[in-house]
């Protein structure tokens, strides 16, 4: 078990592991008895350019769009381990203009009763080596700080002069995925 | 997949574009595949959707209707031959293959000169010389009128010119792609050869279904200019007869793009522009709602929704009849909810969109009195984009299907139907292929 990364902490992935060619971003949560909340949670991955904007709607990867156009980022349909969602990233295939890859978790705003992330007991993001599945990094439990939020930025992969780094974000949004989409220029 | 066929429409534009069109065709086939890769099932589904719906989409009908005009032109082709003949001689100097094909066409010319052109186009670089020769041919007055290309001079454009004249008449039909000759020549003989790009064009025309499949694989066109030549020759004889068929192809434009919504600007659907395609993000985030914005002047207009899920389950919801949730009895996590606030509303939970195959929104009279109709059905995406569908129907004591939604490869295609399809909900649903629904009476499905 690796030490948990606090909000805002980062790690230089490819600098520490030069042989790293791809990672799996695992998202896990525990909503307790709130099955309705768990059913309506969605993990979404946004690929952003230098201006922190998604080049187009095609760079929003989630259950209804399971890969970015060049397929460097894909959503796994077959999960390994206990994660609720897994996103594979082939670091070498990520287009040069993509500077960061952000993972969000949000409550879908459906016709049913409104839920919030405050009902989550646990919420983690972790990074696995794509080859072998070894856990490289794990975030602290991000759930305790959540109240009325309906979306949260869990973490991000981003390019640095030393290579790819990973950072835990943990920033909540009261206005859900609409707020995140607005921040990253994803057309809804 | 349907994109390719549309190329024909643009046939009239023939210019440099002709060359591009060829390429577009091929790519179109490949393109559809790529799309599917990114998100699940490919586009092919769209055709299915139309088929399933039991109705021809605007595209198909148009294609069928257009064909007729083109057929008439077979005769025009004859003049071309003469031109072609000159061209071949010139061609001889440069790329042998090209020239040879030209010659072939020349003999054939009587039937369809156009064929010659097609071969030249594909060859591209090699063909340059040919073009030169061809240009002279172009001089013949016949070609000049149709071909805008003239300006092109030495380039491929020239080729098109000579070709175009003959092609124009016949071409329209084949229109599917590069006017190039391929159109004219292709229709008749091309299929057999199938190898060249030219052939592909024609084949699709004749048999839409088969053509698409063959075309993509058909990479054959690439194989070589040489092949194309052969085709043209072969095509020439039959060309005259074939031309009629070609017309059908016209409709499709190689550059056709699916209509999308525009942020901040309502998208209005009407008979000329009946559909809009939501992106996979728009199709999978939040809720998609339909509201009937009407006044009492329209009568007691109520909304209902017939749906079919991937699981095979099919049924209806309608606030007026108390069947408010889909699937039936699913109140905890419904996929579709019928409600009434200011207006009648149908809401679709897009978190579950992958379970949805299709649905139709229908309007009916709540009090049994005939409806005057009127007002607008508005679909709203989670992001706030609005799709407006004016309800313009003759007063009638009927049930009308107002809109349909198909889930094609993760993208929802919304179509304005405005179709007085029956006197009861049951008839309306059966009219739209909901054969899986069994009925207690004319308005109530069995759960």
Q: Give residue B6's pLDDT band: very low, low, confident or very high (50, 70, 90).
A: low
Place of tokens 């013949």: B140
Instruction: Look at residues A172, A132, A167, A134 and name the one whose alpha carbon lies nearest to residue A150.
Output: A172
The helix or strand, by DSSP H or E, that contains position A126, with its residue range, turns out to be strand A122-129
Q: Which residues of B touch A (CB under 8 A)?
A: 37-40, 263, 279-287, 332-334, 336-337, 339, 347-354, 381-384, 410
CB contact under 8 A, B37 and A71: yes
Distance in angstroms (rounded) separating the CA atoms of residues A75 and A68: 9
Distance in angstroms (rounded) separating the CA atoms of residues B114 and B108: 10
- Calculate what percentage of chain B has a pLDDT beyond 90: 40
Facing residues of B214 across strands? none
Cα atoms in the Cβ-side hemisphere of radius 13 Å centred on A64: 25
**Over residues B3-7, mean pLDDT:** 51
Distance in angstroms (rounded) separating the CA atoms of residues B229 and B226: 5
Give me B306's structure tokens. Answer: 């017939």
pLDDT tens figures, B267-296: 999 999 999 999 999 999 999 999 999 999
| Contact residues, chain B, for A108 at CB < 8 Å | 285-286, 349-351
Q: DSSP for B257-288, please give it.
A: -----BTTBPEEPBTTB-EEE--TTTTTSSEE
Please give the pLDDT value at position A78. Answer: 87
pLDDT tens figures, B293-334: 999 999 999 999 999 999 999 999 999 999 999 999 898 899
| Contact residues, chain A, for B264 at CB < 8 Å | none
The shortest C-alpha distance from A10 to chain B (Å) reads 30
Q: Scanning every residue of chain B, which has its alpha carbon at the shortest distance from the alpha carbon of A109?
A: B286
CB contact under 8 A, B333 and A58: no
Distance in angstroms (rounded) separating the CA atoms of residues B59 and B50: 10
Distance in angstroms (rounded) separating the CA atoms of residues B279 and A57: 7
The helix or strand, by DSSP H or E, that contains position B25, with its residue range, turns out to be helix B17-38
| Contact residues, chain A, for B280 at CB < 8 Å | 57, 64-65
**Over residues B7-14, mean pLDDT:** 56
**Over residues B229-254, mean pLDDT:** 46
Summary mean pLDDT of chain B: 65
A contact test, residue of B262, B278, B285, B384 with most A CBs within 10 A: B285
Instruction: Look at residues A90, A95, A152 and name the one whose alpha carbon lies nearest to residue A122.
Output: A152
Please give the pLDDT value at position B227. Answer: 40
Show the low-confidence residues of chain A (pLDDT under 50).
Answer: none
Please give the pLDDT value at position B447. Answer: 83
Identify the DSSP state of B206: H
Please give the pLDDT value at position A80. Answer: 82
**Over residues B216-243, mean pLDDT:** 41
CB contact under 8 A, A39 and B381: no
Distance in angstroms (rounded) separating the CA atoms of residues B417 and B377: 11
Please give the pLDDT value at position A40. Answer: 94
CB contact under 8 A, B351 and A68: no
Please give the pLDDT value at position B257. Answer: 86
Closest in B38, B352, B353 to A69, CB measured? B38
Question: Measured between CB atoms, does A38 come within 8 Å of chain B?
Answer: no
CB contact under 8 A, B287 and A109: yes
Across the A/B interface, how many CB contacts are shorter than 8 Å?
92
CB contact under 8 A, B286 and A109: yes
Q: Scanning every residue of chain A, which has its alpha carbon at the shortest distance from the alpha carbon of B380?
A: A188
**Over residues B95-102, mean pLDDT:** 42
Instruction: Look at residues B289, B313, B310 and name the one whose alpha carbon lies nearest to residue B445.
Output: B313
The shortest C-alpha distance from A161 to chain B (Å) reads 30
**Over residues B388-396, mean pLDDT:** 94
CB contact under 8 A, A111 and B410: no
Please give the pLDDT value at position A112. Answer: 81
Q: Give residue B179's pLDDT band: very low, low, confident or very high (50, 70, 90).
A: very low
Question: Measured between CB atoms, does A63 come within 8 Å of chain B?
Answer: yes
Lowest mean pLDDT among B144-158, B359-373, B408-422: B144-158
CB contact under 8 A, B40 and A108: no
Please give the pLDDT value at position B354. Answer: 97
CB contact under 8 A, B283 and A58: no
| Contact residues, chain A, for B284 at CB < 8 Å | 62-65
Whether pLDDT at B139 is above 90: no
- Which domains, and CATH codes, for chain A? 4-183 (2.60.60.30)
CB contact under 8 A, A67 and B37: yes
Q: Give residue B150's pLDDT band: very low, low, confident or very high (50, 70, 90).
A: very low
Distance in angstroms (rounded) separating the CA atoms of residues B250 and B272: 17
The shortest C-alpha distance from A74 to chain B (Å) reads 9
Higher pLDDT, B171 or B377: B377
Q: DSSP for B106-128, please give it.
A: HHHTTT-GGGGHHHHTTTTTTTH
Chain centroid to CA B90: how far?
40
Cα dihedral A168/A169/A170/A172 (nearest 10): -160
Distance in angstroms (rounded) separating the CA atoms of residues A98 and B167: 47
Tell me which range, A177-186, B99-108, B187-196, is most confidently predicted by mean pLDDT: A177-186
Please give the pLDDT value at position B48. Answer: 54
Cβ neighbours around B325 below 10 Å, total = 18
The shortest C-alpha distance from B352 to chain A (Å) reads 9
């Amino acid at each position: 078990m690796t030490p948990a990364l606090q909000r805002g902490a980062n790690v230089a992935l490819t600098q520490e592991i030069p042989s790293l060619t791809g990672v799996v971003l695992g998202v896990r949560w525990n909503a307790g008895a709130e099955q309705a909340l768990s059913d309506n949670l969605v993990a979404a991955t946004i690929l952003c350019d230098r201006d922190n904007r998604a080049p187009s709607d095609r760079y929003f990867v989630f259950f209804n769009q399971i890969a970015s156009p060049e397929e460097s980022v894909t959503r796994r349909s077959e999960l390994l381990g206990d994660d609720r969602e897994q996103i594979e990233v082939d670091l070498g295939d990520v287009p040069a203009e993509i500077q960061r890859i952000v993972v969000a978790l949000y409550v879908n705003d459906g016709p049913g009763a409104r839920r919030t992330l405050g009902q989550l007991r646990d919420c983690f993001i972790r990074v696995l080596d794509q080859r072998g599945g070894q856990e490289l990094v794990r975030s602290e439990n991000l759930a305790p700080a959540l109240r009325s939020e309906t979306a949260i930025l869990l973490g991000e992969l981003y390019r640095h002069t030393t290579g790819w780094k990973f950072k835990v974000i943990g920033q909540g949004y009261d206005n859900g995925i609409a707020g995140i989409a607005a921040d990253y220029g994803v057309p809804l | 997949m349907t994109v390719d066929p549309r190329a024909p429409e643009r046939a009239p534009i023939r210019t440099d574009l002709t060359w591009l069109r060829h390429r577009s065709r091929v790519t179109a086939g490949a393109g559809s595949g790529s799309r599917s890769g990114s998100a699940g099932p490919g586009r092919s589904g769209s055709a299915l959707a139309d088929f399933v719906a039991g109705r021809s989409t605007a595209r198909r009908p148009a294609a069928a209707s257009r064909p007729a005009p083109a057929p008439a032109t077979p005769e025009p082709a004859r003049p071309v031959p003469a031109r072609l003949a000159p061209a071949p001689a010139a061609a001889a100097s440069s790329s042998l293959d090209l020239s040879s094909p030209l010659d072939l066409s020349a003999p054939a010319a009587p039937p369809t000169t156009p064929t010659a052109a097609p071969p030249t186009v594909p060859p591209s670089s090699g063909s340059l010389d040919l073009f030169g020769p061809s240009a002279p041919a172009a001089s013949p007055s016949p070609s000049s009128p149709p071909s805008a290309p003239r300006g092109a001079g030495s380039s491929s454009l020239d080729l098109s010119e000579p070709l175009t004249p003959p092609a124009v008449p016949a071409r329209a039909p084949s229109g599917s792609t590069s006017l190039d000759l391929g159109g004219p020549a292709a229709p008749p003989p091309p299929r057999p050869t199938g190898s060249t790009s030219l052939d592909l064009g024609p084949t699709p025309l004749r048999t839409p279904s088969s053509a698409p499949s063959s075309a993509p694989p058909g990479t054959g066109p690439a194989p070589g200019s040489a092949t194309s030549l052969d085709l043209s020759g072969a095509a020439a004889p039959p060309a005259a007869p074939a031309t009629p068929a070609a017309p059908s192809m016209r409709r499709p434009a190689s550059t056709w793009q699916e209509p999308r919504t525009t942020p901040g600007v309502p998208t209005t659907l009407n008979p000329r522009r009946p559909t809009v395609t939501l992106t996979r993000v728009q199709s999978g985030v939040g809720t998609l709602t339909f509201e009937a914005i009407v006044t009492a002047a329209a009568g007691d207009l109520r909304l209902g929704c017939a749906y079919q899920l991937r699981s095979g389950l099919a049924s209806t919801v309608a606030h007026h009849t108390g069947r408010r949730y889909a699937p039936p009895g699913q109140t905890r996590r419904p996929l579709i909810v019928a409600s009434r606030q200011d207006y009648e509303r149908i809401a679709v939970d897009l978190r579950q969109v992958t379970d949805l195959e299709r649905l139709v929104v229908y309007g009916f009279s709540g009090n049994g009195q005939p409806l005057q109709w009127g007002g607008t059905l508005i679909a709203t995406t989670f992001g706030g984009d609005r799709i407006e569908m004016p309800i313009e129907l003759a007063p009638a004591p009927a049930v009308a299907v107002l809109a349909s939604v198909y889930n094609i490869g993760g993208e929802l295609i919304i179509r304005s139907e405005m179709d007085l399809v029956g006197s009861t909900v049951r008839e309306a649903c059966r009219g739209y292929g909901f054969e899986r629904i069994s009925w207690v009476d004319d308005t109530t499905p069995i759960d």
